[in-house]
Chains A and B, each alone.
Chain A
Amino acid sequence: MNVRTVEIIGKSEAELEKISEEFSLGLSISEMVQLRRYFTSLNRNPRDIELQAMAQAWSEHCCYKSSKIHLKRYLSGLPKKDVVLAMEDDAGVLSMGNGYVYVVKMESHNHPSAVEPYGGAATGVGGIIRDILCMGAQPVALVDSLSFGDPEGPKNGPLSQRFLASRIVAGIRDYGNRLGIPTVAGSIDFDSSYNHNPLVNAGCVGIAREDSIVRSRVSDVGDLLILAGGRTGRDGIHGVTFASRRLTADQEENRRAVQLGNPIVEEPLIHAILEMVSHHLVDAMKDLGGGGLSSSVGEMCYAGGTGAIIDLDNVILKEEDMAPWEIWISESQERMLLAVKEENLQRIREIFESWDVEFSVIGRVVEGSNLRIRYRGTEIFNLDLPFLTSGPVYSRLYLLPKTPEREEVFSPEPENYNEFLLRALASPYLASRAPVVRQYDFTVRGNTVRKPFNGLSGEQTHSDAAVIKPIEGLDIGLGITSDSNSQIVAADPYRGTLHLLGEAYRNLISSGVRPHSLVDCLNFGDPEDPVVMGQFAESLRATGEFCNFFNMPVTAGNVSLYNGSGDTQIKPSPVFMMIGLVPDVKKVNKTAFQGEHHSIFLLGNDSTSMVGSIYHKLMNVEGGTIEDADLDELRKLGDAILDVTPRGLILSIHDISQGGLVGALCEMAFGNNVGFHVELDKVAGARPSIKLFSELGNRFIVEVDPSREEEFLEHFRGLKVTRLGSTGGDRAIIEDCSVRLIDIGITELSNVWNHGLDRII
């Protein structure tokens, strides 16, 4: 019958280790010993399907065994403003007023994308959409934060860095575009630490009525369990145990974890499920991701305090000869698990049939805490859910990073500032993201008010954040940004994370949107390395502190560990997706200079820190300490900017981040092809390179109509405001103490900026 009993009772530790290897369980010796103890107490040996289920549930990916202790310590007592559900179900749910909620989640799909970039990235998008859908929400926007290897770096196995980057982008494009959900924001990072392990973090936002939210837990005994959508096949077996260890060069082993994704199956599934939700036909719902049925059924029942009986024969298969354990842990895509009342089955059948979606009733919710599986008339699985699902928790050794009191590093000045600026703008770190973002449909659904680009058609520049208007008839908007910056987090995990969160905050503020909630996607290296765990703990400490300071909830998140290959670990790479609210989408800010002869001001205290900057990266300078983040100033500046935005006093605004002051000025100039002439005499910094290229601090560049200057200065009284110069002409002119540092035509600059990624994507 294709079910094997595996003898573990009485086996030695060495033999247990061998069993873990033979069945690709990925369990450690101590975990195998716990299993031996459990089955010894039951007085029977496990069957292969039971062992495989344990391996899924106890994998790092599913039970967060290394990270839980830190997540609890730093994120459990956070503010709950407007929170409907945070850190409970598959996605976070927040109230946005008028009876509506937005649903948000971000997840990594790093390991699959390293092996098969197109399918890995595509299924990452498909999976995050189902996380939103399973809360009963209509997905309305996607974001993607990507980290690629050094474009000139060595191949990752058989795949060139260029192949990896362009196929990852293609996977995101094809899945999102085919489903008709706009990809509106994101970030792209390049660093050699990602050469063998690119990062693909996909996020999704959905909208629902608060009263139609569906939970991921089932507490109604007697409910039927339905599996709907794609068929179950051998694809993606052992995906989670694969994601819970470092990548290997074994192609044969990797292949089993590969899937391409099928948006044509997911699209009607979304319609069918939303129709059922609108008729209140679904009691609980969960998408099938890592661990397949094993994880979904187990977690859904365990959370609701019920048990279940499953008939495995009823699962619709792609291939007839699958073993029961393969069916149970398959990670085939586009599948959803629903718990429904028997009396609603007929209507559910009609809806699925009208959308041409396959489904089957695979089991029933029962009293108790046991999960039982029947197959061809025999019971082949009977485990206690609290034991199966709770998983071990580790307090791994962690080594806090040593931060020296103050370490100054000095970099040389460029010989020619014009040439260096051209080089920086053409570098992959700063270059226009258009060759990537233009592949994504960011306006489908017709809700994208502030697009990823703004300015004249053909000349456009980056926006700081996207703004969508998700609800018909209401002017309320959602601002969305997603940011990463492994350079500064690597330099100092604690301070760097605060600066990175500040950057996400500033992106929303400069768009005119009030920051509201946060989702984290934490990508780190091997948790068994104390240095990595130290980075993780420090980064979380910063996140907790930031959110407490700004009264901002963390509503959902994802931890991805074991990112690295061989002896190389990725740089610590937390990715943050921040969502903001704006009462009237018509009153948001622009990035591009709006006209000539307008005044340019710099808001915010000076920053002279160059650590983690693109300038240092291009000059090959490493080390140094990062200055503290000034959250108090950020709050005051943010409030002042948001207060004044509806009055139209700010013609355009851009925060200073990667590329520094000169990078920000150039991006503002590119949008409408309007030049500028500024003087840096009053900007702090011992050297021109610091004035031009330092990236930290809470700084914004603002364009103001000269006739309203007084009103502007009055409004920002008490905050640091520095006059830089004015807009106009067709050149970028920057002077410092009467020395002309930069003098280049805007079109010459925008030309290299626009084509910087051409050779990579």
Chain B
Amino acid sequence: MVKVRIEVSYLDGVEDPEALTIFKNLSSLGYDSVKSLRIIRSYELDIDSPHYESVARDIGQNLMINPVIHRMKIVKVEDVE
């Protein structure tokens, strides 16, 4: 079995209101050294299949992202017992 992480983030040019709000508040709290902030959502799945990558890609494409605004990255985290 493999622990796989699906990371979903916005494409460049798509404005993320949540990230903007946090970034703005960081500035008002005085963290001037922070120059940008991105939010990346990640899902960790334990997949019991040698084709774990295509399973994860299929799940991501069908349920988690809209390719018009999102990009997705699939990372193998570790083998699990």
Contacts and interface: CB of A to CB of B under 8 A. Distances in A.
A254 B14 CA distance: 12
Interface stretch (B15-23, B29-37, B38-46, B47-55): B15-23
B12 to A, nearest CB: 11
A262 B23 CA distance: 14
A116 B17 contact: no
A323 interface: no
A399 interface: no
A318 B15 CA distance: 10
B13 to A, nearest CB: 7
Interface in A238-292: 251, 254-255, 258-265
A158 B15 contact: no
B68 A116 contact: yes
Given A163-B62, A163-B63, A262 B15 contact: yes
A119 interface: yes
Contact of A262 (B20, B63, B68, B69): B20
A98 to B, nearest CB: 39
Contacts of B63: 160, 163
B62 A254 contact: no
Contacts of A263: 17
Contacts of A167: 66
Given A160-B62, A163-B62, A234-B13, A258 B69 contact: yes
A235 interface: yes
Nearest to A263: B17
Interface size class of B (residues with CB under 8 A): 10 to 19
A233 interface: yes
A406 to B, nearest CB: 47
B66 A259 contact: no
Interface of A: 115-119, 158-160, 163, 167, 233-235, 251, 254-255, 258-265, 318
A118 B17 CA distance: 13
Interface of B: 11, 13-17, 20-21, 61-63, 66-69
Contact of A251 (B15, B21, B62, B67): B67
A116 B15 CA distance: 13
B14 A260 contact: yes
Nearest to A256: B13
B68 A260 contact: no
B67 A158 contact: yes
A159 B69 contact: no
B68 A261 contact: no
Contacts of B17: 260-265
9 contacts: A116-B66, A158-B66, A251-B67, A255-B68, A260-B16, A262-B17, A264-B17, A264-B21, A318-B15
Contacts of A260: 14-17, 69
Contacts of A235: 13-15
Given A233-B15, A234-B13, A318-B15, A159 B20 contact: no
Nearest to A252: B68
Nearest to B28: A356
A235 B16 CA distance: 12
Contacts of A262: 15, 17, 20-21
Contacts of A233: 15
Contact of A117 (B14, B15, B62, B66): B66
Interface centre among A115, A117, A254, A264 (most CB of B within 10 A): A264
Q: Which 6 A-B pairs have the closest CB atoms?
A: A262-B17, A264-B21, A158-B67, A116-B68, A255-B68, A116-B69
Contacts of A261: 17
Given A158-B68, A160-B62, 10 more contacts: A115-B68, A119-B69, A163-B62, A233-B15, A234-B13, A235-B14, A254-B68, A258-B68, A261-B17, A264-B17
Contacts of B68: 115-116, 158, 251, 254-255, 258
B45 to A, nearest CB: 18
Contacts of A259: 15
A52 B15 CA distance: 24
A132 to B, nearest CB: 21
Which one of A116, A167, A263 has the highest number of Cβ atoms from chain B below 10 Å of its Cβ? A116
Contacts of A234: 13
A174 to B, nearest CB: 9
A261 B40 CA distance: 18
Contacts of B69: 116, 119, 255, 258, 260
A115 B14 CA distance: 14
Contacts of B21: 262, 264
Nearest to B20: A262
Nearest to B25: A264
A364 B26 CA distance: 36
B14 A258 contact: yes
A264 B68 CA distance: 23
A494 B8 CA distance: 48
A167 B65 CA distance: 11
A234 B15 CA distance: 10
B22 to A, nearest CB: 10
Nearest to B65: A158
Nearest to B16: A260
Nearest to B62: A160
A229 B46 CA distance: 45
Contacts of B20: 262
A116 B11 CA distance: 13
Contacts of A159: 66
A162 B71 CA distance: 20
A252 B13 CA distance: 12
Contacts of A258: 14, 68-69
A167 B69 CA distance: 13
A158 B67 CA distance: 7
A158 B66 CA distance: 7
Nearest to B70: A116
A182 to B, nearest CB: 21
A235 B17 CA distance: 13
A265 B68 CA distance: 24
A318 B66 CA distance: 24
Contacts of A254: 68
Contacts of B16: 260
A119 B67 CA distance: 13
A455 to B, nearest CB: 34
Between A251, A260, A261, the greatest number of chain B beta carbons within 10 A of the residue's beta carbon is seen for A260
B59 to A, nearest CB: 12
A318 B13 CA distance: 11
Nearest to A117: B66
